[in-house]
Amino acid sequence: MRGIVFLGERELEIQNFPDPTPGAGEAVLELRASGMCGSDLKFYRASKDGGTAALGLGGGGGGPVIAGHEPCGVVVALGPETGEYGVSVGDRVMVHHYHGCGHCEHCDVGWSQLCQHGITVYGVTGHGGHADYIKVPASTLVALPESLSFETGAAIACGTGTAFGALQRINLSGRDTIAIFGQGPVGLSATQLATAMGARVIALDIAPERRALATDFGAEVVIDPGTDDAPAALKELTHGKGVDLALDCSGVAAGRLAAIQGTRVWGTVCFVGEGDDVTIDVSRDMLRKQLTIVASWTFSRSGQAECARFVADRDVAVDDLFTQRYALDQAKEAYTLFDTQTTGKGVFLAH
């Protein structure tokens, strides 16, 4: 089978791998959709030696690793000892793209990415979804609701699921005004989902293409933080108070600081975007406002299923996130464009 491998420094290659066969507890999926996530750019851009360290996930340890951590497809083979997972050949499934020890307090409740005994991240440290097939533990599979497309499933497998998890973490309600910094795939998903949850959404991005998408997805107001004073603009839109909630999906220091400074007294800021750091004046920016700052890293296996149910029940147009659709052999073109960070989401589709 074919698989896309990042070589570092914005180079990639389509390599050949043996077709996977499932061992005990494992399933093989034929991939139908494999999404491109913003965090893939970290690996795509990484130096040629040990790029996976960029996200604090440890090295891949020897041998090329197939990229893509938003796998979605159909089960085509099951190994022995998979009966307990309730999956059958032919099922449409997503992958919860992490695997831990399988029996600690975090693995037990479906948060395998928090396992302290070492994790596999499919598409980063284990073979991912930019391929014809993927082999994963059957315990990582999450059913894809019948009404959702494979590409929607791929988005839910990281970007959209991450947005959903963050909105849950800050208990977004329909009474809230939320500012969402960064309208890449995660931020745009947050705009869509927060709108579906009834909140008033203010979306911020420096790219005009992404601000236009945010408007299409329900943002009431869009702001260009490159030219506007974002905290001042947010206060102006909220009777001088600042927003109730802010989500930073940009991962850049300026976005994080503006999120903190544009949020009201007693408000909550959630960090979602990865990379960089931020310096704040704790007294002025945090203490004197009784501010809550939390972080949210993706979602649990059951959280992924819950996101899928919400998207299906509320008819959230997740497919519309995808502005580019590719075949595997267009990988170079796909990542060259995604690297500009001006587009919506890209996805590799099998035909």
Q: Which residues bind Zn ion (CB under 5 A)?
A: 37, 39, 100-101, 104, 107, 115, 158
Distances (CA, A) of 166 to 110, 270, 273, 297: 16, 7, 11, 8
Residue placing its CB nearer to Zn ion in the complex, 104 or 252: 104
CB 115, min distance to Zn ion, A: 3
Q: CA–CA separation, 302 vs 234, rounded Å? A: 34
CB 11, min distance to Zn ion, A: 21
CB 302, min distance to Zn ion, A: 16
Q: CA–CA separation, 317 vs 283, rounded Å? A: 41
Residue placing its CB nearer to Zn ion in the complex, 43 or 310: 43
CB 114, min distance to Zn ion, A: 8
Residue placing its CB nearer to Zn ion in the complex, 154 or 243: 154
In 3D space, the residue among 72, 67, 95, 76 whose CA is nearest the CA of residue 149 turns out to be: 72
CB 263, min distance to Zn ion, A: 25
Q: CA–CA separation, 177 vs 189, rounded Å? A: 16
Q: φ and ψ at 253, to 5 degrees?
A: -60, -45
CB 122, min distance to Zn ion, A: 11
Residue placing its CB nearer to Zn ion in the complex, 186 or 221: 186
Do 246 and 267 form a contact (C-beta atoms < 8 A)? yes
Residue placing its CB nearer to Zn ion in the complex, 107 or 221: 107
Residue placing its CB nearer to Zn ion in the complex, 82 or 298: 298
CB 308, min distance to Zn ion, A: 16
Residue placing its CB nearer to Zn ion in the complex, 39 or 192: 39
CB 287, min distance to Zn ion, A: 33
Residue placing its CB nearer to Zn ion in the complex, 37 or 328: 37
